[in-house]
Copies of this chain bind each other. A is one copy, B any other.
Amino acid sequence: MPPKNSHVTFQDIADYTHFSKTTISRYFNAPQTLTPASRQRIEEALEALHYRGGSKVGRMLANGQTELIGILTPQFFFPFYSHLINDILDTFRDNHYKFIVFTCNGDEAVEQRAIAELTAYRVEGLLVLSHTLPSRKLADLKLPVVTIERENEYTCSVDSNNYSGAVSAAEKLLADGCEVLVHINSTEHPQAPGMKRIQGFQDTCRQHGVLARLFLHEYPQDFALTRARVEEVLAQVEAEFPDKKVGFFVSNDTFAQLLVNRLVREGRQIPAEFEVIGFDDSPVAQQTVVPVTAVRQNIRMMASTAMHLLERQIAAYRCGKDATPLQHAVIEPALIIRESTLPS
């Protein structure tokens, strides 16, 4: 009988049943190879010993499979991150992988420590949403890695089709008769997938011969700054384009919401005088006074695609290969029409 507060091991079960611990191991990993009678005997023992499951630690050491995946994310405050990670963690339902999660918050030192820990725990793969480390460094880890919506030159990746998202937004604004198109975005890493929104926006405007006005700025660190930024942009736009119907394509929903709030409080008509389209389609988009038309990222699809790409790599690694061909998945977003633009 094992000590009270400790865990029941295969050895304990073996002693109780007078089998060897090998047989006990087989009971769990290949039950077919035991006689029904033996199985029965072991089952009784499990009952008697109050067996609550074996130790993965021993298993990990013995066969090297940890069933652990590491997630590196900046933080959970943007709905995009929390929703994506939510959907990734949900794959546990049909999948045996467990996730160790780190918030790195743009701090490279923390990210390095996190990676060191993850390799120490022998995680079988990495899902990287944070963008402080170049993909080159990630590739050096010689570990299955999938990066999501970030610079991805040397790693497998999943991104939204930011370009086509921007095109569909711009085309909607044009179709609704906007005379000037304004795009508000933040300047990030030049290779960030989100930068393609600028390209898609500009290309579409050029193609239609309509004026494209860009407002690029650094990502506002707090809410007051974002608010100030909205004021600046609006003042500028009203000065530059009085009496024109302006269509705003904004790089995130929070910004779109602030814009809508501001316009509504000034008594401007949406979508008659102004139209607004956001990006992400986070919950705020539908909760705004005037619900906001937005480019919806297919987050669920991004999560499952990322897991598939990672599993593929993990399988390859188990077969001894230490590099798989780079695959870059691009997920199509959808334009969700709400009241901040004309009905479709």
Q: Does A284 contact B (CB under 8 A)?
A: yes
Q: Does A217 contact B (CB under 8 A)?
A: no
For A283, list chain B residues within 8 Å (CB). Answer: 77, 223, 254
Q: Is the CB of B120 within 8 A of A56?
A: yes
Q: Does A331 contact B (CB under 8 A)?
A: no
Assembly CA distance A76 to B73 (angstroms):
14
For A117, list chain B residues within 8 Å (CB). Answer: 56, 98
Q: Is the CB of B90 within 8 A of A103?
A: yes
Q: Does A155 contact B (CB under 8 A)?
A: no
Interface membership of chain A positions 42-65, coded 1 if the CB is closer than 8 angstroms to chain B and 0 otherwise: 000000000011111110110000
Tell me how far the C-beta of A205 lies from the nearest C-beta in chain B, rounded to whole angstroms: 29
Majority SS of interface residues in chain A? helix
Q: Does A19 contact B (CB under 8 A)?
A: no
Q: Does A265 contact B (CB under 8 A)?
A: yes
Interface membership of chain A positions 91-120, coded 1 if the CB is closer than 8 angstroms to chain B and 0 otherwise: 011000011111101000010011011011
Q: Does A66 contact B (CB under 8 A)?
A: yes
Q: Does A300 contact B (CB under 8 A)?
A: no
- CB proximity to B under 8 Å, residues A265-311: 265, 283-284, 286-289
Binds B, one of A79-87, A160-168, A180-188: A79-87
A119-B52, A121-B56 given; A99·B98 CB < 8 A: no
